[in-house]
Amino acid sequence: MRPRRCAPRLLAEVDERRNPRTNATVNQLLDRYLGVLEIEDTTRAGYESILRNYIRPLLGELSIARINGETLDSFYAELRRCHARCDRRPRIDHRTAVEHKCDRRCAPHVCKPLGGSYLRQIHTLLNGAFGRAVRWQWLGTNPVQQSDAPAQPRPMPDPPAPHQAARIVEEAWADPDWGMLVWLAITTGARRSELCALRWDRLDFGTGVLSIRSAMAQVGKRAWEKDTKTHQHRRIVLDPQTLALMRGYLQRCAQQAALLGIDLRQDSYIFSTAPDHAAPMRPDTVTQRYSRMCTRLGWTMHIHQLRHYSATELIAAGVDVRTVAGRLGHGGGGATTLRVSAPGPPRPTSEPLVPSPAVYPSCPRHWTTPLGRSRCRSLLLGLRRRRAHTSRSRPTSGPPSAVVPTRQAITSPARPRWPTDTESRSAPRTARLPS
Ligand SMILES: [Zn+2]
Ligand SMILES: [Zn+2]
């Protein structure tokens, strides 16, 4: 017998446990939820990877009516035990799934917990999906609300030590194009995606102001330009040393292009592997190259740590936190900046905004190495491949492309049409690129 004035919602819940309104499984709910969700492609790709690796294998086949706080707590506990969800028996983690010869990268499995930020994302995703299930009247209550949200992980800023940063820069300058990117990452603290999206017309050589207006997003092989992470444009003043390096780098890029008979456009990308700088560098390429370089030096590092290095060094040099937050593009008025900068003893105050070059590792004197013959040949091959590809995909449209230079033209190049150092300085507003 039901009590006379029992809360209707409670009754609904009780009824539901007995006969759920839907027999849908967690997989079916998630498919439906993702189908109606309006999110950026990068977020979607992140969600799909979480679903594939963690949620679907453990919860996917269960009926949504069977999910409760206890199920979810066990689910989180399992992920905290081992991110690989192993069966606790000894095994070897192989470096690749395809047939291979084992080397030192194939090692006995050690259980490691899944990172706190992943657990948070899983919780958010499940909460959203079950919230919708309640709105769609598939369920009376949201079971995710009955489990504790995994704690927000505390950021552990781990920037390279100054001697490591100096070594990284030295190693990177072995290839001037790569060295310039790493140098700019250190001095500006810009995000990897923002560095990839930089174009020459966003750097004002007259005032030394670099405008950060967009970022490159990447999912798999597809890359596209989008808004910055906090949807804000920002302007960073480059220190004189960095500005001089950028001027030299621009000359180098124009020289390389001129050797191949092509011009750099004002809106071409600053960092590119294409000789005409028409295509940006991909964020993943930058990450992989940086990690490989650090591995050669004997460290396990990620390029994002350079952002923490920049924050740490600027704050240690006495630059006020709000200014550093503005430079790095952090929201929240400096709270994030303080979290990601490693604590250290205060240093004497230097000039605000424009960091003193003394804070940063020194750059090599011979950075403008002459363009070698093999580099010329690889650029030329790259250009021919690109043109062949373009003419295959667009046979009739588009302007006629410049003539690919002969081998003789490359080995005895004409002088590049490029403003000299003094000319660029006298042109106050924009970088003067050959039209
Ligand atoms: Zn192996
Ligand atoms: Zn394990």
CATH number where 349 lies: 1.10.443.10
pLDDT in tens, 10-57: 555 555 554 455 789 999 999 999 999 888 888 888 899 999 999 999
At residue 333, the pLDDT reads 64
Q: What distance in angstroms lies between residue 86's CA and the mean position of ligand 1's atoms?
A: 17
Range of weakest confidence among 1-10, 100-109, 344-353: 344-353
Task: Spell 38-51 as b/e; 16+ CB within 10 A means b.
Answer: eeeeeeebbbeebb
Most confidently predicted of 233-242, 295-304, 342-351, 385-394: 295-304
pLDDT in tens, 186-196: 888 899 999 99
| Rounded CA separation 310/347 (Å) | 14
In a domain, 194, yes or no: yes
Please indicate, yes or no, whether residues 127 and 43 belong to a single structural domain of this protein: yes
Please indicate, yes or no, whether residues 289 and 356 belong to a single structural domain of this protein: yes
| Rounded CA separation 331/305 (Å) | 18
Domain boundary among 88, 117, 146: 146
Banded pLDDT at 126 (limits 50, 70, 90): very high
Q: First and final CA of the chain: distance in angstroms? A: 87
pLDDT in tens, 238-268: 888 888 888 888 888 888 888 888 888 888 9
Banded pLDDT at 227 (limits 50, 70, 90): confident
Please indicate, yes or no, whether residues 166 and 301 belong to a single structural domain of this protein: yes
Please indicate, yes or no, whether residues 252 and 293 belong to a single structural domain of this protein: yes
Q: What distance in angstroms lies between residue 100's CA and the mean position of ligand 2's atoms?
A: 22
**What CATH number should be reported for the domain holding residue 32?**
1.10.150.130
Strand partners, 236: 210
Please indicate, yes or no, whether residues 195 and 251 belong to a single structural domain of this protein: yes
Please indicate, yes or no, whether residues 139 and 187 belong to a single structural domain of this protein: no
Q: Is the predicted pLDDT of residue 129 greater than 90, yes or no?
A: yes
At residue 271, the pLDDT reads 93
In a domain, 379, yes or no: no
At residue 288, the pLDDT reads 93
Amino acid in position 182: V
Q: What distance in angstroms lies between residue 159's CA and the mean position of ligand 2's atoms?
A: 29
Which has the closest alpha carbon to 416: 207, 222, 209, 263?
263
Please indicate, yes or no, whether residues 222 and 175 belong to a single structural domain of this protein: yes
Q: What distance in angstroms lies between residue 154's CA and the mean position of ligand 2's atoms?
A: 24
Please indicate, yes or no, whether residues 52 and 174 belong to a single structural domain of this protein: no
Q: What distance in angstroms lies between residue 92's CA and the mean position of ligand 1's atoms?
A: 7
Strand partners, 93: 107
| Residues at Cβ < 5 Å from ligand 1 ion | 94, 102, 106
Average pLDDT estimate for 391-396: 46
Banded pLDDT at 109 (limits 50, 70, 90): very high
| Rounded CA separation 217/226 (Å) | 7
* Domain interval for residue 18: 8-146
Average pLDDT estimate for 380-400: 52
Number of folded domains in the chain?
2
The share of the chain scoring above pLDDT 90, in percent, equals 24
Please indicate, yes or no, whether residues 92 and 119 belong to a single structural domain of this protein: yes
In a domain, 386, yes or no: no
Banded pLDDT at 316 (limits 50, 70, 90): confident
Average pLDDT estimate for 286-304: 91
Please indicate, yes or no, whether residues 171 and 314 belong to a single structural domain of this protein: yes
Q: What distance in angstroms lies between residue 109's CA and the mean position of ligand 1's atoms?
A: 12
Residue-wise DSSP of 98-163: SS----TTSEE----PPPHHHHHHHHHHHHHHHHHHHHTTS-SS-GGGGSPPPPPPPP---PPPHH
Banded pLDDT at 406 (limits 50, 70, 90): very low
